[in-house]
Amino acid sequence: MTQLVRDGIVARTIDTPRLRTGVLERPVGGDGGSNDGPTVVFVHGNVSSALFWQPTMLDLPADVRALALDLRGFGSSETLPVDATRGLRDYADDVAAALDTLGVTRAHLVGWSMGAGVVLQLLLDHPDVVASVTLVSPVSPYGFGGTAGADGRRLTDDDAGTGAGGANPDFVARLAAGDESTGEQTSPRSVYRTAYVKPPFASDLDDVWVASMLTTATGDGNYPGTATTSGNWPGFAPGELGVLNTMAPRYFNVSAIVDLPAKPPILWVHGADDAIVSDTSFFDINFLGQLGVIPGWPGAEVAPPQPMIAQTRAVLDAYRQAGGEATEVVFEECGHSPHLEHPERFVTALVEQLRSTHA
């Protein structure tokens, strides 16, 4: 049987006022360890769990307290429905409640993919707890799909083509069935190998990553969520429940970080070959339409692919112009998971961020 929790990591659950939350911790200790070092809190992305952060946690200096939290409906956290009309606020409020329960009053926040959006929402709603932000392959500040231009202009009033309606039903069924196979493109293992990382990357922990993906709770209230019909191409729009709908542009927009009076430093790390978060994302319905994968595409004037990287870059440029500090680091030969694909380089960048902003 695969060992999911690595030696040196402590797994537990805590009860917060909002839900029962799974926590992984790499405690302070070892040679040179002390209790006055920084606390780092890791937030995972969609269809994953805190397990994905373990190599990074173990590689941090001994004086760093490292915590990774399971979001609701993932890992060992309680499965509760997600109110998508709040964007990613259900998750951000859950994280804030967990930190309060753990007695963490200030921390360095690290978020991957959807988890980066959670971290930015937490920065907006609970700014006092955030010492710094590290965004790893982050969802655009304007959500996932359905927007155009660097300013995140919404394409339709109902955000057609975004949210749960775009989920592959066979992939959802395989998640629900706990499928660990490799034979089909829609199996979680195949999706990991082709989208989470740049092929042919592989590690001796791939079984752990697949097991982590399979902790995803499926259904209307969780992954992928509910969908509604639309008169706009491709015929569906986001509903009000579930994971994928939280990132619909009508519900999620964190570009207001530019206006925060206190701006913690932001580090943005992403891979040059990311298949998920990209200006040419293979998970963007409009880009798939442009490629002819989805029929009936109405053209770039009506349904252009979302410029995800350009949007994040524009918001962080504005953040700098408003007095904040933001650094972009691009890893070549890297997909959606810089912390897995280039662990030494990622830890070096993260530690530099911690040391320069330790509070």
Domain positions in the chain: 10-152+251-357
What is the per-residue pLDDT across 229-283, written as a single tens digit (0 to 9) for each?
999 999 999 999 999 999 999 999 999 999 999 999 999 999 999 999 999 999 9
Question: What six digits make up the tokens of 106?
Answer: 């200030």
pLDDT class for 35, splitting at 50, 70, 90?
low
Question: Cβ distance 127 to 260 under 8 Å?
Answer: yes
Question: Cβ distance 314 to 150 under 8 Å?
Answer: yes
Does residue 26 carry a pLDDT above 50? yes
The pTM of this model reads 0.97
Cα angle 195, 338, 84 (rounded to 5 degrees) comes to 60
Q: What is the mean pLDDT of the chain?
A: 96
Q: What is the SS3 string spanning 145-189? A: CCEECCCCEECCCCCCCCCHHHCCHHHHHHHHHCCCCCCCCCCHH
Does residue 33 carry a pLDDT above 60? no
Question: Cβ distance 170 to 186 under 8 Å?
Answer: yes
What is the per-residue pLDDT across 310-331, written as a single tens digit (0 to 9) for each?
999 999 999 999 999 999 999 9
What is the per-residue pLDDT across 184-230, written as a single tens digit (0 to 9) for each?
999 999 999 999 999 999 999 999 999 999 999 999 999 999 999 99
Q: What is the pLDDT of residue 175?
A: 98
Q: What is the pLDDT of residue 12?
A: 98
Overall average pLDDT of the 32-36 stretch: 52
The H or E element containing residue 270 is: strand 266-271
C-alpha 128/C-alpha 116 separation (Å) is 17
Percent of the chain whose pLDDT exceeds 70: 97
Does residue 359 carry a pLDDT above 80? no
Overall average pLDDT of the 81-86 stretch: 98
Cα-flanking dihedrals φ and ψ of residue 132, to 5°?
Answer: -160, 165
Q: What is the pLDDT of residue 30?
A: 46
Question: Cβ distance 276 to 336 under 8 Å?
Answer: yes
What is the per-residue pLDDT across 109-160, written as a single tens digit (0 to 9) for each?
999 999 999 999 999 999 999 999 999 999 999 999 999 999 999 999 999 9
Does residue 342 carry a pLDDT above 50? yes
SS3 39: strand
Question: Cβ distance 161 to 241 under 8 Å?
Answer: no
Q: What is the pLDDT of residue 29?
A: 75
Does residue 34 carry a pLDDT above 90? no
Hunting for tokens 């195949």 — which residue is that?
190
Strand order across the 39-43 sheet: 10-15, 20-26, 65-69, 39-43, 107-112, 130-136, 266-271, 326-331
C-alpha 282/C-alpha 98 separation (Å) is 34
Sign of CA dihedral 153, 159, 162, 164: positive
Q: How far is CA 72 from CA 160, 222, 272, 312, 340, in A?
A: 26, 9, 30, 26, 23
Q: What is the pLDDT of residue 341?
A: 98
Question: What six digits make up the tokens of 265?
Answer: 């430093």
C-beta atoms surrounding 2 within 10 Å? 10
Q: What is the pLDDT of residue 31?
A: 41
| Termini Cα distance of the chain | 41
Q: Name the more confident of 37 and 282.
A: 282
The CATH architecture assigned to 10-152+251-357 reads 3-Layer(aba) Sandwich (3.40)
The amino acid at residue 222 is N
C-alpha 33/C-alpha 27 separation (Å) is 9
**Which residue in 241, 274, 266, 262 sits closest to 87, CA to CA?**
241
Overall average pLDDT of the 18-34 stretch: 80
pLDDT class for 2, splitting at 50, 70, 90?
confident
